[in-house]
A and B are shown apart, each in its own frame.
Chain A
Amino acid sequence: MNAAKQAFLKRIDDALHNPQMRRNFRKAMDGIRSKRAEQFIDDDVLQLKRDKARIIRTNSLSKQAELLEKLEARLTQNGIQVHWAETAQQANEIIYQLLNAAGAKTAVKGKSMVSEETELNHYLQQRGIEVIESDLGEYIIQLAKEPPSHIVAPAIHKNRIEVAELFQQFHPDIPYTEDINQLTATARQVLRERFATADAGISGVNFAVAETGTLCLVENEGNGRLSTSAPDIHIAITGIEKVVEKFSDVPPLLDILTKSATGQPITTYFNMISRPRQPGEKDGPKQVHLVLLDNGRSRIGHDAELLDTLRCIRCGACINHCPVYVHVGGHAYGNVYPGPIGIVLEPQRLGIEQAGALTSACTLCGACGEVCPVRIPLPALISRLRAETVNAQQGMASDNTLSGKGKLRTHSEALSWKLWSWLNRNPLVYKGFTRLATRMRFAAPSIPGWSRYRTSPKPAPQSLKEMLKQNGLRENL
């Protein structure tokens, strides 16, 4: 078996045997789903909003080169410096060089999934720059030395006792408490000094508006504003697909993003950055940089069907509604992005050999497709990618768009399907098979994989056709 697939199955097994984690996720997912539902009571309105969001995002993707050039021109005009990175390594190096040139030794960071993709924190830490995650969820997992388990709520897998124990370990001067308000107050107190003294701030970007040269950030805590307003230098990193054409595109996207993600009509803050500190202004960074990261996204765009993946606005609704995710949690997926968007994006980003096995982590229930605010046809894309993992034939994505096609094909599986197909195409053989199956039902073998967690099905004593014949229905041959 493919090594990545084996590791994946092991992680799933471990997750399924962790009752505390499963309880945490069940509670979290049920809560976040009902909050979203409360924001979308009128289904007609919801569908209109989804259409509008899909149109805005598709429009952006149809002319990405043009919009990115426009974005760059406006940002530059505004005084924000733009850098381009094809790979994660390049992005990290650019950011390191900028910090180094500014003599920055500490950086406060707002949440950024793109920076998880590039493993920015590790890169900077190795080169002597301290990175402090300031979003409470990210701060918690930074202390725990774990990756995020969800794209919007990174510490969703932890309960208050686990957080209390972490805080006790890292802030021994502060008395132990499991009270969430007090834990929050601790985080405020501890991180305040870091905001005040950090040399630099790093952030992601939710929307980059080409028309006005504006970087838009969504947050509840205030750490994003602090990270991008208090230090002297602000570096933002984003995937190239985040660009939108006009400022009027922003309100409808913001509306459906916050409602889909956390069930909020709006987040506490919506931060729109267009320039560094202007003459006469008393605060704000003197330098602002944007790093545009490709990291495989331009390759994805070659395939007209798979391109839909890039409409994603990173709300996490698909993850919240996925029956697989609720049972295994985010870490089981083993990559940056979990849940439905993860199993569609990661095989495209990382190739099938490394991430193709993820496509089997799906029941094809379709819930993800129903809740996606930008109407990404996730179930269809999952099916498509599943086929790509075992089928290297033409008609599928070229090697330019998807590496490792067919690499998860195994002889035994392929043979099983060939046999099954032959069996169903041959009436006499089929008849013989059903006779054998029903008469020898107690000798039916267990099905490997299936019977690991479930009882194997036993054939009935008679086939349906035999029963009908017995009841007087004539066979129509």
Chain B
Amino acid sequence: MSTSNQSRARILQRLRNNAFAYQVESTRNNLQPDWTPEEKIRQFTDKITAVKGEVIQVKRDNWQTTLSEQFSRKNLKRILVGDNALGEQIRRDNPQRDIGLYEQSIENFKDSLFHQIDASVSGCRCAIAETGSLVLWPDAAEPRLLSLVPPVHIVILESQQLFNSFAEVVEKQQWQNGMPANALLISGPSKTADIEQTLAYGIHGPKQLLVLILSD
């Protein structure tokens, strides 16, 4: 659009005139926590349960049983999982439940996703102890809306993937080298305080968030 280009040129010219030399001062940077694995699990659990997230610690070789129990306990009938090894496994482990893979494009799937799914299960890339956050990089197998639309979202988190802080994740995983289409930090079920500053849970995103933390 030619107007956009003219605007661009004028804006940039004005901004170039504003440019000034600036020496970035270094600051003391010991603001990052550095916890033991057990402390990280405790911090993560405290933070996410404070905002009504649920956490269950499970053994790495036994999480499937807990997951199945939770399906019953929460009365989840139709469950959506990713089109990947995790999804396939959950389907195999729960043959009597209606578990579907997110294998179609949203265009063919919207009605079902918005109206008929009770819960979804996904993995996550890693997690952050300081803020009680899960890090997800949605992809072809586990798309964006999987962790957003169904009213209950269950996440399988490997405890070894629990980092101290967001800054640590960004640095250690070198996010500056390239970002996916969508990356997310999820820190609890959805909430709002727009009416009288009073917290109410379960507005547009999931009403419940359950994290199964896998360790020895």
Which 4 interchain pairs have the tightest Cβ spacing?
Answer: A222-B205, A62-B22, A137-B194, A301-B18
Q: Are B182 and A284 in contact (CB under 8 A)?
A: yes
Given contacts A251-B166, A283-B105, contact A266 B131 (CB under 8 A): yes
Most chain-A Cβ atoms within 10 A of its Cβ — which of B20, B25, B144? B144
Return the chain A residue nearest B53 by Cβ. A268
Q: Are B18 and A184 in contact (CB under 8 A)?
A: no
Tell me, rounded to whole Å, the shortest Cβ–Cβ distance linking A373 to chain B: 14
**Is residue B85 contacting chain A, with contact meaning CB distance below 8 A?**
no
B residues contacting A by CB (< 8 A) are 1, 3-5, 7-8, 10-12, 14-22, 24-25, 27-28, 31, 47, 51, 102-106, 109-111, 114, 130-133, 138-140, 143-145, 148-149, 165-167, 170-171, 175-176, 178-198, 200-206
Q: When chains A and B are docked, how far (Å) is the Cα of A272 from the Cα of B178?
A: 12
Q: Are A278 and B181 in contact (CB under 8 A)?
A: yes
Question: Using Cβ atoms and an 8 Å threshold, which residues of chain A touch B8?
Answer: 84
Most chain-A Cβ atoms within 10 A of its Cβ — which of B102, B109, B195, B203? B195
Q: Are A220 and B14 in contact (CB under 8 A)?
A: no
Q: When chains A and B are docked, how far (Å) is the Cα of A272 from the Cα of B176?
A: 13
**Is residue A28 contacting chain B, with contact meaning CB distance below 8 A?**
yes
Q: Are B11 and A86 in contact (CB under 8 A)?
A: yes
Interface string of A128-169 (1 = CB under 8 A from B): 000000111100100000000000011110111001000000
Interface locus among A223-231, A321-329, A374-382, A402-410? A223-231
Decide if the interface of chain A is mainly helix, strand, loop or mixed. helix
Interface size range of chain A in the complex: 35 or more
Question: Using Cβ atoms and an 8 Å threshold, which residues of chain B touch A59?
Answer: 22, 24
Tell me, rounded to whole Å, the shortest Cβ–Cβ distance linking B10 to chain A: 6
Q: Are B22 and A90 in contact (CB under 8 A)?
A: no
Q: List 21 A-B contacts (CB under 8 A).
A: A52-B31, A62-B21, A66-B19, A84-B11, A97-B1, A136-B203, A156-B197, A160-B195, A180-B195, A196-B114, A222-B203, A222-B206, A229-B144, A248-B176, A254-B166, A265-B130, A266-B131, A270-B185, A275-B180, A278-B140, A294-B7
A residues contacting B by CB (< 8 A) are 24, 27-28, 31-32, 45, 48-49, 51-52, 55, 58-59, 61-66, 68-69, 83-86, 90, 94, 97, 134-137, 140, 153-156, 158-160, 163, 180-181, 183-185, 187-188, 191-192, 195-196, 211-214, 220-223, 225-226, 229-230, 240, 246-248, 250-252, 254-255, 262, 265-278, 280-284, 292, 294, 298-299, 301-302, 304, 307
Q: When chains A and B are docked, how far (Å) is the Cα of A84 from the Cα of B1?
A: 9
Q: Are B16 and A65 in contact (CB under 8 A)?
A: yes
Tell me, rounded to whole Å, the shortest Cβ–Cβ distance linking B50 to chain A: 9
Tell me, rounded to whole Å, the shortest Cβ–Cβ distance linking A139 to chain B: 8
State which of B114, B132, B182 has its C-beta within 8 Å of the C-beta of A272. B182
State which of B7, B132, B145 has its C-beta within 8 Å of the C-beta of A229. B145
State which of A83, A220, A274, A301 has its C-beta within 8 Å of the C-beta of B180. A274
